[in-house]
Amino acid sequence: MNGQLLISAIVLGLSMSGIYFLLTVGLSLCYGLMRMISLDQFFYYALGAYMVYTVTSLTGSFWLGMLGAMLTTLVAAFVVERLIVKRVYSKPVMFSMILTFGVNLLGVGLIKYVWGLSPKPVASPISGIMNIFGTGVPIYRLFVIVLAVVVYLAVQYFLNKTILGTAIRAGIDDAEKVEALGININRLFTLTFLLSSVLSALAGVIHAPFVMVSPEMGMSITAFAFMVVIIGGLGSIKGTMVSALIVGQVVSIGALIWAPLAEMAPFLVMMIILLIKPTGLYGSKLMNR
Amino acid sequence: MKRYLNSWSTIIIVFTLLYFLKAFLPAAFLTEVAIYSIYAMGCSFLIGRLGLTSFGQPAFLAFGAYGAGIYLYYFGTNPFVAILVGVLASVVVNMLVGLFFVRLNSSYFTLCNQAFCVVTFFLFQKALVKWTFGDNGLLLISRMDPTPVIDLTSPKGIYLFAFIVAALVWFFYNYLMKRSVFGATCLCVKDNEQKLRFLGYKTYNIKWLAFVIANTTAGLAGALYTVYFCMVNANIASVSSASEAVAISMLGGAGTLFGPLVGTFIFIGLKDIASQFIRHWEVLVGLLLIVVMLAGQKGIVGSLEGYLAKYTAKKSEPTPALTQEGGV
């Protein structure tokens, strides 16, 4: 294994980490703040990717596509939340899990109706190549890494430093008391749900130039997303970030050694971490429900 | 009334009726119902009696299917032995996997299971491609010898055999869920695991054993599948079918005895009818899941049993039975 390959694998791994983080931060927010597992995030991810394909091929601008994808997802997530998800906030996790899996399947089916089965290409918006230690690295990958870091900092700031974030966090511990303070907790939950879905869509948008956009893309990335969430510990944003970094590197360096390792190695890592700590790296025992 | 619903003779009557339904319905459909209901039974048991939802059931189906398939392709020709090998393979895998998975709480369990399903898919599609031939799969036509007594290579034989096996599985689960102490402790695990642990039970062992039993049932269905279709490919473990077992269980009523059978009958029937009109089948499964979950999560048999219980209670039955029915 030579150094150049290794450097490009590490950069690829970091950009994959960025995508995994953006995809799973939605799951983590939903679990951490609302105690629900929202599997429909994968539908928003695929929807984001398809919208960026459509808008980009219509207008020619990727950035416009990004905006369009996020707005469309916002509307879709709002409809889903009002019609379906709203009803299971107070129920055990299993309800939200099965229900949102149904939403996910429905979404995948609808995508197949609208866009057909054939995979669609999306051109990378930044085509330049940067030289790092003599290895050519596409600038777009670096952009993905920077974007993920920015989103991580923004989410942490939102949750810990703003009044709204504090209210959401208080809402988990004692919903009644928060409502007594005059805060509409259902509106906060809607807000959290929309925020997570937009972040998932963003993951789909920035992942689109890496892969072909296909209806099953949301399904095929579930395994990695779950591994990230489980290794980091459900509901912890910091844990999600750390485990996204681990999984990204394991995937890209594993693929260098033996191609099938890309899928197997993260699973082994997950198993080992679960053996040591059944709630993941940063998961708390309190969330045993 | 409830006593009649759960007795041994009911099972025999139901399966005999279903067997002779071939006069009206295509035999291929009924064979699929029989095999798929065995698969759904395991999932239904996990959800309804243990409180563990598994979106990774295709993985356990695949181990049974590949166990039988690899035996038939490389080693022997007897389909009965192949089914046995498939079941044994799935027992071994389940025992190992269970050691890890059963420790997790229910949310982690579900996510891990689905991840496991994807890994299994890659295992059979890419990592072991030399032996499993990935997406093309193992073709077993004319690799099976005709067997005495019940000829598994003929459609009639496999039809009869699938029903016998399904009836046996139902007998077993009837015993497990209604008569045995083990079934009762499983229900306790679902309702209040901490209390059970306080009473001195080792809940880990109970969950592990239940996990192995339920998923071996799935493995048995997988082995039957291989023999029935004379082929097995990696698609059997694909994630897109991961929800089917859960959908069937929820539709029929998770944890009820006849829930999986009713659920499978309706589900596969719908699938066969709808696939003539609808191109993409996921839409219907998704809608089904949403409707069943929003309509009360009890499923068809679960709700029916509720009504029956009410009806019979009015007709002066002194005390309702101690067993707890239906629901999640």
B282 touches chain A (CB under 8 A): yes
Three-state DSSP class for residue A162: coil
* B250 inside domain: no
Given an 8 Å threshold on Cβ–Cβ distance, is A264 in contact with B103? no
Residue B146 within a domain: yes
**Position B21 pLDDT exceeds 90:** no
Q: What tens digit of pLDDT does each residue of B50-71 get?
A: 888 888 889 999 999 999 888 8
Greater confidence (B98 vs B314) lies with B98
Determine contact, residues B190/B109, Cβ cutoff 8 Å: no
**Three-class SS state of A220:** helix
| Phi and psi angles of residue A141, each rounded to the nearest 5 degrees, phi first | -65, -40
Q: Is residue B218 part of a domain?
A: yes
Region A165-193: mean pLDDT is 81
Whether the per-residue pLDDT at B112 is higher than 80: the answer is yes
Using an 8 Å CB-CB cutoff, list chain A residues near B280. Answer: 109, 112-113
pLDDT at B124 over 80: yes
Residue B21 forms part of a structural domain: yes
Name all contacts of B185-194 with Cβ < 8 Å and 24+ positions apart: B186/B49, B186/B50, B186/B210, B187/B49, B187/B324, B189/B50, B189/B51, B190/B49, B190/B50, B190/B51, B191/B51
CB contact under 8 A, A94 and B106: yes
For A219, which of B240, B250, B279 is closest by C-beta distance?
B240
- A243 vs B contacts (CB less than 8 Å): none
Q: Give the pLDDT score at B216.
A: 92
Residue ranges making up the domain that contains B105: 2-239
Computed over every residue of chain B, the mean pLDDT equals: 82
What confidence score (pLDDT) does residue A288 get?
40
User: Residue B328: pLDDT above 50?
Assistant: no
> Does B97 reside within a domain?
yes
Q: Is residue B193 part of a domain?
A: yes
pLDDT digits (tens, 9 = 90+) for A212-241: 888 888 777 888 888 888 888 887 888 888
Interface test with B, best of A94, A95, A231, A251 (most B CBs within 10 A): A94
User: Are residues B264 and A122 in contact, defined by beta-carbon separation less than 8 angstroms?
Assistant: no
Per-residue pLDDT band for B315 (boundaries 50, 70, 90) equals: low
Of B239, B247, B288, the CB nearest to A219: B239
Which of A117, A226, A250, A273 is best to mutate for the B interface (most B CBs within 10 A)?
A: A226
- The domain ranges of chain A are 21-221
| Residues B215 and B109: beta-carbon distance below 8 Å | no
pLDDT at B130 > cutoff 50: yes
State residue A4's pLDDT score: 77
For chain B, the domain total comes to 1
Residue B312 lies in a domain: no
Percent pLDDT > 90 in chain A is 9
Residue B235 lies in a domain: yes
Q: Which has the minimum average pLDDT: A76-85, A189-198, A279-288, B113-122?
A: A279-288
Give the closest-approach CA distance of A262 to chain B in angstroms. Answer: 10
